[in-house]
Amino acid sequence: MGTEENITLDMVRQHFHEEGGFHLWDDFSGIEPDAAAYIVDNATSAIFLSIRQLCSESAAILSTHSMTLHFETLSELTDGAAAALAKHQARLVLAGVQRLSPAAASALEKTSAHLVFPNLKRLDFEVTAALEYCKAKSLEFHGLQYLAPESAAHLASTGGRLTVFTHHLPLAAAEVLSGSRSSCLTVKAEDFHGTTAEALSSFASTLVLYCPDGVPFEADVAHALKNHRGTLFFNSPIWDRKVCKGLSEHSGGGVVAEVEIGLFGGFDPFRLTLGGARELSKSNCDLSLRDPRTLPEKICEALSRHRGTLQLPRLKRLSAAGAQWLRRHPGPLRFTKELESASLALLDGHPDVRVD
């Protein structure tokens, strides 16, 4: 249960003086406009607020902040506050909102920010109709229970990046989403099956798929995506031979293999089996293995036969034997500054190595 106090100017001045920033973790009733102005004038990073109410005047002031606005406990968004927040241009996270009115949705439809609803449970038809031509850079729903095909049709008309995490995704809704105008479609569903993947495979641009919590994708899901023509981000904790065989048939713009970020921001161990690596090496697509920090020699040997661009953005070190195999890779090798200089030196002799 939070305090009935509002965040006041004296309160934020004291915290900036004592803490060098704004770190009030208590749940407050609201925030006074002069306090909001002081925070915006002095904050040098994202603003996180635990408030249950937001007046239009304070919302208008906060919307001018050039970085993320995160409202953790704002459960009800008035039409006036929504209209003011729609002018924000960075990232707007409405974590406390579990129901959204059509009027508030209509106001937010005009925003050009990244619009995020981590805990919105329902998307009523009237709400998605109001968001049909949303101008947000990205529109994200992370806590839906269900997405109706009619609502999916509205969301498919948005032009930015679209993210849908839902407990249940009907096949008809997946078919509608496959025709989305979005530049990138991200989907996670607890009931994701091969038929769902096949429906989404006709999406024309970048497709990001997250496996159900803690449950690796079945091989039929990977196989069903072989006709997808865009870049495929495939998120799974385990990469075995059956899954990788399906992904090796992908004929689009490349495959990015990664694992899901855990509850506390850490990465689960990336488990690429030797059989999986051998199957991925048969792909002609560009391949990005996003998470491994090290690669065993046998995995390097298998990947050395891959013919496209091989990206290892989080790799930190290579053994001499592993580097010897990767030097034989016929395509470009791409790393980041994560790779230790000693390991990079072991790759001397490969004609196309780049560190970005």
C-alpha dihedral, 323 to 325 to 331 to 335, nearest 10°: -20
pLDDT for 250: 80
Mean pLDDT of the chain: 88
pLDDT for 211: 84
pLDDT for 72: 92
Give the residue, 215 or 185, on which the prediction is more confident: 185
pLDDT for 89: 94
Q: Kind and range of the H or E element at 254?
A: strand 254-258
Q: Name the pLDDT band for 261 (thresholds 50, 70, 90).
A: very low
Task: State the pTM of this model.
Answer: 0.86
| pLDDT at 256 > cutoff 80 | no
Render pLDDT for 86-145 as a digit per residue (tens, 0 to 9). Answer: 999 999 999 999 888 999 999 999 999 999 999 999 899 999 999 998 999 999 999 999
Give the residue, 55 or 291, on which the prediction is more confident: 55
Q: Is residue 88 within 8 Å of residue 69, measured between CB atoms?
A: yes
Render pLDDT for 275-312 as a digit per residue (tens, 0 to 9). Answer: 999 998 998 888 888 878 889 999 999 999 998 899 99
Question: Of the ranges 27-41, 92-106, 247-261, 308-322, which one carries the lowest mean pLDDT score?
Answer: 247-261
Angle between helices 33-42 and 9-19 (to 10 degrees): 30
pLDDT for 99: 86
pLDDT for 4: 79
Give which of 115, 98, 119, 104 is closest to 155, Cα–Cα: 115
pLDDT for 22: 67
| pLDDT at 257 > cutoff 70 | no
Across the strands, what pairs with 141?
117, 164
pLDDT for 252: 66
Q: Is residue 30 within 8 Å of residue 5, measured between CB atoms?
A: no
Render pLDDT for 24-34 as a digit per residue (tens, 0 to 9). Answer: 667 899 999 99
Distance CA 85, CA 62 (A): 8
Q: Tell me the chain's radius of gyration from C-alpha atoms.
A: 23
